[in-house]
Amino acid sequence: MGKQPTNAEVRFWRDPDLPGVEVRRSSYNEEAFRTHVHAEYSIGFIETGRTTFELDGIPHAAATGQLVFIGPNQAHACNPDLGSGMTYRMFYIDPKWLIAMAGEVFGTGHEPPRFPAPVVDDRQLADILLALYQAIAEGADRLEKESLLVQMLADALTRHAEPGRPTEPSGGEETVEIIKTYLADNLAEKVSLDDLARAANLSRYHLLRVFQAGAGLPPHAYQNQLRVDLGRQLLAKGHPVSEVALEAGFADQSHFTRVFRKYTGATPRQYRDSGRS
């Protein structure tokens, strides 16, 4: 599970003209990811193939020509269906972009927007997404890239999103936030289940159940996700892989590489050395 396919093709772009936006194009013929989350919104286009993934326990299928919307911190694993190769382009977009655009589209004072339908058919929006992808890949002028990004987000919001609604946190949500904060604050430490149980004032068993239900991942997988996210930030700045491995809390470079590609479908070196516009 989550192995790096020998036939994988993956490329990333991080454009300084569009801070908070990362783009990837990937091709896989077999399972490449384990269940993971992104802090960003994920907006993608299925170029070829098909995938079946779950969000909040509900299965969704996406195929050639369709768009996919996944919100921040929604656990998922978009692997190609058995016997189906898949090529896709994905934009990972900082929530600040969506919140700002939602303020312009829906009015100010809203929570982060949500996309009720994770898979949609919208050829016009797909064309704008592909034009933005091309502009980033070819190093177009800043004004062109910003214009395409704003147009893409505005169209996505007006046609497929709804304003977010503030909710009162439940006891379980508060527990999840306590554990997430503890793990983030102790990223380089060897945190034990007892440590987490004490922090949340719960039994170990109850803690595992509550966290899995609220976060969509067990605590150890969320800890790995945090470490991989830190690794991505450091790699994007060009840091050596061996240095990043230790900084992100991994035992060694080999361990870092194994975990990184289970969560991203790429090796640390592939991610770091991908072209920039």
Whole-number pLDDT of residue 53: 86
Helix (H) or strand (E) run with residue 50 in it: strand 50-55
CATH match for 9-164 among 1.10.10.10, 3.50.50.60, 3.40.50.300, 2.60.120.10: 2.60.120.10
Stronger pLDDT, 78 or 160, i.e. the higher one: 160
| pTM as predicted | 0.82
First-residue to last-residue Cα distance in the chain: 33
Domain boundaries, the chain: 9-164, 171-273
- Beta strands 67-70 and 119-120 are antiparallel
Whole-number pLDDT of residue 120: 97
- Given pLDDT bands bounded at 50, 70 and 90, which one contains residue 166? low
pLDDT(169) > 60 = no
Q: Are the C-beta atoms of 177 and 217 separated by less than 8 Å?
A: no
User: What are the two backbone dihedrals, phi and then psi, of residue 213, each rounded to the nearest 5 degrees?
Assistant: -65, -35
Q: Which fold has domain 171-273?
A: Arc Repressor Mutant, subunit A (1.10.10)
Mean pLDDT of 63-75: 94
Structure-derived torsion over alpha carbons of residues 145, 150, 151, 152, reported in degrees to the nearest 10: 90
Question: pLDDT of 75-116, one tens digit each?
Answer: 888 888 888 889 999 999 999 999 999 988 888 666 789 999
